[in-house]
Structure 1
Amino acid sequence: MWLVTLLLLYSLQKVKSEDVISTRLYFVNASLQRVTFSSSVGVSLPCPAGGAPHAILRWYLAAGDDIYDVPHIRHVHSNGTLQLYPFSPSAYNSIIHDNEYFCTAENMAGKIRSPSIHIKAVFREPYTVRVADQRSMRGNVAVFKCLIPSAVQEYVSVVSWEKDTVSIVPGNRFFLTSYGALYISEVQKEDALSTYRCITKHKYSGETRQSNGARLSVMDPTESTPTVLDSFQSGEVQIGHSVELPCIASGYPNPTIRWLKDGRPLPADSRWTRRITGLTISDLRLEDSGNYICEVTNSFGSKEVTGRLNVIEPLRVTLSPKNLKTGISSTVILSCAVQGSPHYTVSWYRNTEPVLPDQHFSIQGAHNETLFISAAQKRHSGAYQCFATRKVQTAQDFSIILLEDGTPRIVSPFSERVVIPGEPFSLGCTAKGAPPPTITGLWMMNL
């Protein structure tokens, strides 16, 4: 019989081992950054973060203050859902009803925080919309605008127009712009016999309002220089969306309209459509950004309006390595790659606390996109997050870092065995270390 002994040697090469991190954290809806609700309805907001196994979910104000329950006003349920109940105007509190919140998820892997979420209550308040009387020359254009009070302008939109109490169907000589104006082309004398009203709807309360009836005065054509009746302003639109740049003018003879981008005529592109309401650009691209000029001209003169269109790309953040398990005293390098529109700022967090440079931490790169951890210690383990922010846009990604004593050690050894020559046998051995060690066998036979 043979007496077989297997001696183990270790190296620093990686082998198949247990998962880097046995627990995990995740986001359900990391893009949620604004919630507006009606004060008469209230809102329930699940925590956009979670974990497995079970994670502790907590809500905070953006300033870092803990959320506390306010009877019949605010409550955090055991499942991490934040609920703001319907309330009367007398119970309004800006700290509760118009503030920024964030939610955290925490388990053994670490602690992550959502981007700040602006939660705002909107009151059911009386308001009036109106339309002003207009004047136009026969054969020209007329523009009616629905005047909405600034206090509710953000939540109220035009849903239709009426002519003598009959809803206007766009087409023929009547056009509705994407932002709610009514254009009447080739104005005729009989247009002065009707009244025009706008109908609006509140986004959160669902209430509708009807304006007063406005009239149109129609005059005979008289020679005149162009007058711009409606125009566009500068703005930002996300890539892939559509935008309408309004531009319409009156005058006699009827003015012609020419569009320029950055001082040059518009390029031939099926995405660009000239309509009576203005210029519509669909499926926006980054290269569509620029200065747009609407030039209106007739034989008595010309006018122009200029606006800046910025096409922006949503921010996207990728943090690498995604998860890392290594030994103490190691150097850890985390790289935060940001895609999207420029002029963003980067900030770092560990377990939801800001990372501050010290003897172990340093933040480098043109945009602070690289985090170095030198001589990392066990206490530096946790969830690291990189946030990129540009105006109202925020994107983030996170990585779980686990630091431990990396000295290789045998977890499950084996003992000597006596076998018969030719008989198959197996020996099991489990080892741990950081980085995970390889296992090398050395045979020794005693005859």
Structure 2
Amino acid sequence: MIWTAQKKKHQTLLLFNIIFVVILCASSASATEISNYYETQGPSFSVEPPSRIEFMNTVGNTVNCIAHGNPVPNIQWLDKENNPITSISKVRHILANSSLHFPPFAAEEFRQDVHWSVYRCIASNSMGSIISRDVIVKAVVYQHYEPEVQNPGGFIGSNVLIKCNIPSFVKEYVTVTSWLQEPNFNIYPSLEGDGKNHMLPTGELLIYNITKNDSQKIYRCRTHHKLTQDSIVSSNAGKIQLTEMRELVPPIMNDKTVALTSRVGDPLVLACVAYANPKPTYRWHTTRSSTEESMQHMLATGRAKIKDGTLIISAVSKTDNGLFFCTVTNSEGSETLEVELSVSSPLTASVQPRVQTVNLGHTADLICSTSGFPKNTSIMV
């Protein structure tokens, strides 16, 4: 009887130990699951692709999209209809690191659906998905271009504007960086010029109070292609065609309406040039949508000045959005230039809070804050 009682006691103790081990293992597994749960993380971009990619067909380009999270996110590229894209021989490759690569291609291999299109990348894991901003891709097929300098006319004592014409097929990518008055006098863009020569920020060359000596000078423009990095000087040279006849001429303008876009804080130079004899006078006024600041106030505070008919604004403000008028008058008549100025400020958007923990089945409130103008609507996606 004593042996039987001890045996039962031993069996009971053994059973208790087994149950304890099972409970301990279960608790350990539960702790591991909880630990893994808190270590998991939804995807977030460490490198989000830019909003715009432009490149020459002779060079190609690569767009990177990198995201981190736990589990490691899967990267996929979508087209503008949100359909997954695939590699296409010679024109588009998805690399092993998930980057989108556009190799150099011949002009005849250009495909508008590939090379002028919109893409987005999406990063996904078991915790969720995030999608990038739209990426506008634009490949440009190389074409040689030649800038051309005009030969403007003018009377002695008048102002003359010399233009450098850029062919339309490259105008989007080419800027005039300087003017060369031969043989070796360089003129660069500035807010007010040097008293005689004034290269405007928009690329034209304004020459004040021309003389016979000015009509003997030769001018060439120097341009820069932002994609090829080529610098090209015009092969043709421009000269002022001086009118020496003494007949009276009312003010004549080549352009009577001009539309310009400027960003807040940028300087702005508005040239007002007319072919006229005798030399005309210039008057600037404005009918902007905002009446907070008159032209007189702009001049009085020094934010703007008028130099021989040229309106110079040191820093554009939001209130400058609207119409500016330059009226040119002499004894024979008058003419008016209308400038429509559109002022913009870069758009930015942010979502608050950046991180929010929400119980399943409950609602989450996100606030989208935007700045900049002009803007139409704010869209949550």
- Tell me the TM-score range normalised by the shorter chain: 0.7 to 0.9
Q: Which one of the candidate residues 295, 300, 303 is aligned to 1:265?
A: 295
Q: Which amino acid aligns with 1:181?
A: E
Q: Paired residue for 1:115?
A: 133
Query: What is the total number of aligned residue pairs between the two structures?
Result: 332
| Secondary structure of the corresponding residue to residue 262 of structure 1 | strand
Q: Paired residue for 1:194?
A: 217
1:287 equivalent in alignment to 2:311:
no
5+ residue gaps, structure 1:
1-17, 350-447
Q: Deviations over 1:263-289 (max 9, x none)?
A: 753423333243458323343322222
Q: Which one of the candidate residues 215, 226, 229 is aligned to 2:239?
A: 215
Q: Deviations over 1:101-144 (max 9, x none)?
A: 11222234421212211111112212232223222111112221
1:206 equivalent in alignment to 2:236:
no
Q: Deviations over 1:141-173 (max 9, x none)?
A: 222111111111111222222333434335342
Q: Paired residue for 2:52?
A: 34
Q: Distance in 2 between matches of 1:91 and 1:276?
A: 53
Q: Which one of the candidate residues 207, 210, 224 is aligned to 2:249?
A: 224
Q: Which amino acid aligns with 1:185?
A: Y
Q: Distance in 1 between matches of 2:75 and 2:267?
A: 38
Deviation of residue 37 (structure 1)?
0.7
| Secondary structure of the corresponding residue to residue 96 of structure 1 | helix
Q: Which one of the candidate residues 310, 318, 321 is aligned to 1:278?
A: 310
Shift in alpha-carbon separation, 1:157–1:314, aligned structure 2, 3 A: closer
Q: Paired residue for 1:50?
A: 67
The answer as to whether partners of 1:59 and 1:103 remain within 8 angstroms in 2 is yes
The answer as to whether partners of 2:118 and 2:137 remain within 8 angstroms in 1 is yes
- If asked which structure has higher relative contact order (CA below 8 Å, sep 6+), I would say 1
Q: Paired residue for 2:263?
A: 238
Question: Which residues of 2 match residues 48-447 of structure 1 at below 5 A?
Answer: 50-53=67-70, 54-169=72-187, 171-207=194-230, 208-220=232-244, 221-228=246-253, 233-262=258-287, 264-267=294-297, 268-276=300-308, 278-349=310-381
The answer as to whether partners of 2:281 and 2:309 remain within 8 angstroms in 1 is no
Q: Distance in 2 between matches of 1:168 and 1:316?
A: 39
Q: Distance in 1 between matches of 2:336 and 2:279?
A: 15
- Structure number with higher helix proportion: 2
| Secondary structure of the corresponding residue to residue 183 of structure 1 | strand
Q: Deviations over 1:359-379 (max 9, x none)?
A: xxxxxxxxxxxxxxxxxxxxx
Q: Deviations over 1:309-330 (max 9, x none)?
A: 2322332323334333333342
Shift in alpha-carbon separation, 1:235–1:108, aligned structure 2, 3 A: farther
The answer as to whether partners of 1:246 and 1:278 remain within 8 angstroms in 2 is yes
Q: Paired residue for 2:3?
A: none
Shift in alpha-carbon separation, 1:302–1:82, aligned structure 2, 3 A: same
Q: Distance in 2 between matches of 1:294 and 1:184?
A: 18
Deviation of residue 230 (structure 1)?
5.8
5+ residue gaps, structure 2:
1-35, 189-193, 289-293
Q: Distance in 2 between matches of 1:42 and 1:73?
A: 9
The answer as to whether partners of 1:35 and 1:118 remain within 8 angstroms in 2 is yes
| Secondary structure of the corresponding residue to residue 129 of structure 2 | strand
| Secondary structure of the corresponding residue to residue 90 of structure 1 | helix
Deviation of residue 255 (structure 1)?
1.8
- Structure number with higher strand proportion: 1
Percent identity reads: 27
Shift in alpha-carbon separation, 1:329–1:192, aligned structure 2, 3 A: closer
Q: Which amino acid aligns with 2:360?
A: I
Bigger mean CA deviation after superposition, 108-117 or 97-106? 108-117
RMSD: 2.9
Q: Which amino acid aligns with 2:204?
A: A
